[in-house]
Amino acid sequence: MGVHEGTRAAPARGAGLSVAALNGTELAYDLSGDGFSVVFVHAGVGDRRLWDPQAGVFAEQYLVVRPDLRGFGESPLPGGPFSYVDDLKALLDHLEIDRAALVGNSFGGKVVIDFALSHPERVAALVLVDSALSGHESWPESEAFDEEEDALLDAGRLDDAVELNLRRWVDGTGRDAAEVPEDLRPRVAEMQRRAFEIVVPAFKASPPPGPVGWGDPPAATRLGEIGAPTLVVVGSYDVEEFRAISDRLAKEIPGARKAVLDTAHLPALERPDEFNRLVLDFLSDALPVEAG
C-alpha cells in the first residue's frame, strides 16, 4: 500500500494516460497532481474525459485519478462476470492508494456508493453527483428509455441512440437543446458513441460480459451505514427519477449535505466553475488536515 493515506510513493503531476492489467482486463486511467487522492468515476454517458474541467484545477491540491470503467473510453469490455467495485479496488491497490475521496457521477455514483459500503476504511469522503443507486427499482420512464436504446442499438442506429441519450441526459427535463452550452452536446456525443462502439460488439461475442456483481444486500437498503462525509449534488434539470434518488441519498446517508445546480445530468461538465468551487470547499472541510 501507499506511504500514507491517500498518497502515492512518488508525485504523479503530468503523468497522463496509463493502462493497468487488472482483474482479467485492462483499465485505462490518468493521473495528475500530487497529494491526497481524489478519484473521479464517470457517468455511463461519458468516460474519464467527463472530468476534463476538473483535472487541472483539482491537481493543484490533490492527486487526481480518472479511470475509464470497463467498456468506456480506452478500457475494453471482455466477456464473463466482473465487478466495477472490484475493479476500482484493484486500481487503488495498483496505485498504492490506501484511502481516497471518491467522486461519482450517475453510474459512477452507483459504483462509489457500493465501494464505500464494501470498503469503508478506504473512503475519506464521497461526492455523489446525480447518482444512480444499486437496489433502486427503475421507474417506468427509465425502463422505456432502456428498451428504446436497446432497439436502436440492435438495429445498428448508433447515431440515433447517441441522440436519444443527449436528449435525456444533456438537454434534461424542462428545457430544450438551445439552452444547453454550445460545446456540451458534441463532447458528450463523442464519449457516448465510443462506449457504444465497445459495448455493442462485446455483447455479440461469446461469452458476453457479465453478470455484473453488486453488493448483497443492495446499497439502497444500507445507506445508513455510510460513515464517510458525503456531498450530494443534483441538477435541477435532471430527470425526475434521479432527483428523487438524490433526495433519498441526502436524507438517508448520515450527515449528508445536498447542493442543487442549474444543470441537467452532468453538472461537472456543464457548469464546471461552480461545481469545482462547491466540491473543493466540501473537500477542504471533509478531508484530513494532511490532505490539504
pLDDT at 187: 98
How crowded is residue 206: how many other Cβ atoms within 10 Å of its Cβ?
5
Whether residue 39 is predicted with pLDDT greater than 50 in this model: the reply is yes
Please state the length of the chain. 292
Domain edges within the chain? 16-136+209-291, 140-204
Confidence of residue 107 (pLDDT cuts 50, 70, 90): very high
Give pLDDT tens digits for 43-64.
999 999 999 999 999 999 999 9
pLDDT at 3: 33
Confidence of residue 15 (pLDDT cuts 50, 70, 90): low
Confidence of residue 176 (pLDDT cuts 50, 70, 90): confident
CATH class name, domain 16-136+209-291: alpha beta
Buried b (16+ CB within 10 A) or exposed e, 275-288: bbebbbebbeebbe
Cell matching residue 150: 436497446
Confidence of residue 2 (pLDDT cuts 50, 70, 90): very low
Whether residue 8 is predicted with pLDDT greater than 90 in this model: the reply is no
Distance (Å, rounded) from C-alpha 49 to C-alpha 88? 17
Distance (Å, rounded) from C-alpha 105 to C-alpha 218? 19
Whether residue 292 is predicted with pLDDT greater than 50 in this model: the reply is no
* % of the chain residues with pLDDT over 90: 91
Distance (Å, rounded) from C-alpha 156 to C-alpha 257? 43
Angle at 133 between CA 179 and CA 220, to 5 degrees: 140
Cis geometry, peptide bond prior to residue 217 (ω within 30 degrees of 0): yes
Give pLDDT tens digits for 232-253.
999 999 999 999 999 999 999 9
Confidence of residue 290 (pLDDT cuts 50, 70, 90): low
Give pLDDT tens digits for 254-278.
999 999 999 999 999 999 999 999 9
Q: Is the pTM of this model over 0.85?
A: yes
What HEC string does the chain produce? CCCCCCCCCCCCCCCEEEEEEECCEEEEEEEECCCCEEEEECCCCCCHHHHHHHHHHHHCCCEEEEECCCCCCCCCCCCEEECHHHHHHHHHHHCCCCCEEEEEECHHHHHHHHHHHHCHHHEEEEEEECCCCCCCCCCHHHHHHHHHHHHHHHCCCHHHHHHHHHHHHHHCCCCCHHHCCCCHHHHHHHHHHHHHHHHHHHHHCCCCEEEECCCCCCHHHCHHHCCCCEEEEEECCCCHHHHHHHHHHHHHCCCCEEEEECCCCCHHHHCHHHHHHHHHHHHHHHCCHHHC
Cis geometry, peptide bond prior to residue 208 (ω within 30 degrees of 0): no
Whether residue 30 is predicted with pLDDT greater than 70 in this model: the reply is yes
Whether residue 1 is predicted with pLDDT greater than 60 in this model: the reply is no
Sign of CA dihedral 173, 163, 176, 277: positive
pLDDT, mean over the chain: 94
